[in-house]
A = this chain, B = another copy of it.
Amino acid sequence: MTTSTVLVIGGSGFIGKNLVAQLLKEDVQVRSLDLGPSGISDERLSSWSGSFLQQELLNEVMTGVDTVYHLAATAMPREANLNPHRDCLDNVGGTLGVLETALSAGVKRVVFSSSGGTVYGPTEVVPINEDHPTHPINAYGVSKLACEKYLRLYNGRAGKDGPLSTISLRIANPYGLQQNIRKAQGALTTFCARAAVDEAITIWGDGEVQRDFIHVKDVARALCLAGQSEVSGQEINIGSGKGTSLNALIAEIEGVLGHSVKCEYLPARSIDVKRNYLDTSKAKNLLNWQPEVNLRDGIQELLDGFGKKS
């Protein structure tokens, strides 16, 4: 049996880097496609520089690939909301380009990283399971949801070497040391980076919005399992299963540090929903996945990494 080859589109991003590292633990050849370097060096990793919007490059990099992890997006949620039209053409259109290329290249499986924090919109019940209504209130959520629907549409379509199978993971709020805090990718990582150097933490709103924080290593494991699984044509939540308010995060950080931290409260943003945390029983049942890193350990790791010993 030949070693399988997997491609991570967005392999230099926050989740991408962690997924590449996770994949390299298995007996696979890994390709990464991203604008910049991943910083990972391994004889089983080949890195391709460019965008998933470059069709020729996509044809080339997908040739001989068994499984594609599509994690790339051209815009962060706030940017997407400023230009939904551009976001749609790039990210929904680009995902369709990935799916079409997968068919013609003979790829067997495509795993898509969707957004558990935005596709549902205002929550009617928490924790949110996958059958909850999906009425996103920002453009990022709309384009992720549209991509999910296209993944379902392409599931089972005939490719060069047999049918394609697809799956989407609705990932909650990932955190971890390699997150880009300059882009404000994640509240928890940003909070810890600030607290570690005694800078004030900025909170939009009253701090009572609840989010679902999940360690990026747990996310990388989930993606890996989703790539190997035979479950297809559906969406699966990946999160901690628990809601944590921003104020509760602050309290946890203070608990680890052993002293209080400075906070600045700013007006709430209209694109933020109030409570969002995911029911992850489907991931447990279908992927045999559960989160392993608890919040306190994750915070400890962040505070240590950002230079402050607690």
* Chain A interfacial positions (CB closer than 8 Å to B): 84-85, 88-89, 92-93, 96-97, 100, 131, 133-139, 142, 145-146, 149-150, 152-154
Residues of chain B lying within 8 A (CB to CB) of residue A153: 84, 136-139, 142
Known: A96-B85, A100-B85. A146 touches B142 (CB 8 A): yes
Number of copies: 2
In the complex, which residues of chain B have a beta carbon less than 8 angstroms from the beta carbon of A145? 146, 149
Majority secondary structure, A binding face = helix
How distant is the Cα of A2 from the Cα of B239 in the complex, in angstroms? 55
4 further A-B pairs in the complex, CB-CB below 8 A; given A84-B153, A84-B154 = A85-B93, A85-B96, A85-B100, A145-B146
Query: Per a CB cutoff under 8 Å, which of B88, B97, B135, B150 touches A96?
Result: B88
C-alpha spacing A133/B131, complex, angstroms: 8
A285: min CB distance to chain B, Å: 19
Q: Which one, B93, B131, B142, contacts A150 given CB within 8 A?
A: B142
Q: Which residues in B have their C-beta under 8 angstroms from that of A154?
A: 84
Complex-state Cα separation, A150 to B141, whole angstroms = 10
In the bound complex, residues from chain B placing their C-beta under 8 Å from that of A142 are 146, 149-150, 153
In the complex, what residue of chain B is closest to A149 when comparing beta carbons? B142
Give Cα A52–Cα B100 distance, bound, in whole angstroms. 26
Q: Which of A134, A150, A153 has the most CB of B within 10 A?
A: A153
The answer to whether A89 and B93 have CB atoms under 8 Å apart is: yes
Q: Which 3 A-B pairs have the closest CB atoms?
A: A146-B146, A85-B96, A142-B149
Q: Can you list 6 pairs linking A and B with CB atoms under 8 Å apart?
A: A84-B96, A84-B150, A85-B93, A89-B89, A134-B134, A139-B153
**Contact call A88/B93, Cβ cutoff below 8 A:** yes
Contacts of A96 in B (CB 8 A): 84-85, 88
